[in-house]
Amino acid sequence: MPELPDVVVYVETLAQRIVGARLERVRLLSPFVLRTAVPPLSAAEGRRVNAVRRLGKRIVLALEGDLFLVAHLMIAGRLRWLARDDKPPGRITLALLDFPTGMLAFTEAGTKKRASLHLVQGETALSAFDLGGLEIADAGIEAFRERLLSENHTLKRALTDPRLFSGIGNAYSDEILHRARLSPIAMTRKLTTTDIARLHAAVREVLAEWTARLRVEAGAGFPTGVTAFRPEMAVHGKYGQPCPVCGAPVQRIVYAENETNYCARCQTGGTILADRALSRLLKSSWPRSIDELG
């Protein structure tokens, strides 16, 4: 799922292309993507784009007439900027937005149809999409501490809860926790003052560094190859590969459609955290520490 750094760069590059331009036409190629009926989608056509915003992991096109097009890419959704005469991607295209200077394709790989598009009227209606997560770039340590300790969760769950923190998902939470040298299953209310300060710094550093990296990668073009798995990442998607800090093999916990990646030596004092599926399978053979892996 595109997270804060990816969405920020999408917003910035889109703004350069469409702010001040008129949305000439919206073409739905999949009826499942549109999740609202009032106002009708045709009401957006012919409207000038006043701004492009980020709202958590959502991308918002603010149109004249107090209308807002809200796109949520979910896991497999992506945006592509095409020339007016380009042929859009085949079966994966959900919607096409036509502008005088080009065409925005909203795509989704796979068959689960989770990506969504809403058209709403007014700031009050738009605010329903704001889950209240703290914007880390604007938050000092005290605001961060208060939000972190407001509920007692594992760090992984807390960082990825959109009601607590804005824009952080599975990939960047792994990178943040590795940078902070904290276990993904540590409970928030058991953290020390030093732990919280280190986590606050790691969140700000990781998100800022990756946003800057993705800006450079996009350059004057439009972001392509948006993915949660990047070779420069320290632990996310790196199961079995050496930790860039200590060299120990990166570990994982698999759950549902996600997995958490971490370094046992850097983050959990050498303890390998139980993976429900694998630890049940291996039972007494399940290694308890990184040293047992030899």
264, with CB counted inside 10 A (0-12, 13-18, 19+), is buried
* Residues forming beta bridges with residue 121, ordered by sequence position: 67
pLDDT reported for residue 211: 97
Domain that holds residue 81: 4-127
Specify whether 43 is located in the same domain as 162: no
Query: What is the distance between the alpha carbons of residues 184 and 36, in angstroms, rounded to a whole number?
Result: 37
CATH number (domain holding residue 235): 1.10.8.50
Q: What are phi and psi of 33, to 5 degrees?
A: -75, -35
pLDDT reported for residue 284: 43
Q: What are phi and psi of 237, to 5 degrees?
A: 75, 15
Specify whether 287 is located in the same domain as 160: yes
pLDDT reported for residue 240: 95
Report pLDDT digits (tens) over 68-91: 999 999 999 999 999 999 999 888
CATH number (domain holding residue 22): 3.20.190.10
Mean pLDDT of the chain, nearest integer: 92
Establish how many alpha carbons lie within 13 A of residue 242's alpha carbon, considering only the half-sphere containing its beta carbon: 4
- Cβ neighbors of 76 (< 8 A, separation 6 or more) are 108, 109, 110, 112, 114, 115
| Total number of domains in the chain | 2
Name the DSSP class of 289: B
Query: What is the distance between the alpha carbons of residues 21 and 1, in angstroms, rounded to a whole number?
Result: 28
Query: What number is the average pLDDT over the span 239-244?
Result: 97
Specify whether 184 is located in the same domain as 259: yes
Specify whether 23 is located in the same domain as 116: yes
Specify whether 155 is located in the same domain as 121: no
Percent of the chain with pLDDT over 90: 86
Task: pLDDT band for 185, please (50, 70, 90 cuts).
Answer: very high
Specify whether 79 is located in the same domain as 195: no
Identity (one letter) of the amino acid at 245? V
Specify whether 170 is located in the same domain as 39: no
pLDDT reported for residue 283: 44
Report pLDDT digits (tens) over 201-237: 999 999 999 999 999 999 999 999 899 999 999 999 9
Which of 127, 150, 175 finishes a domain? Answer: 127
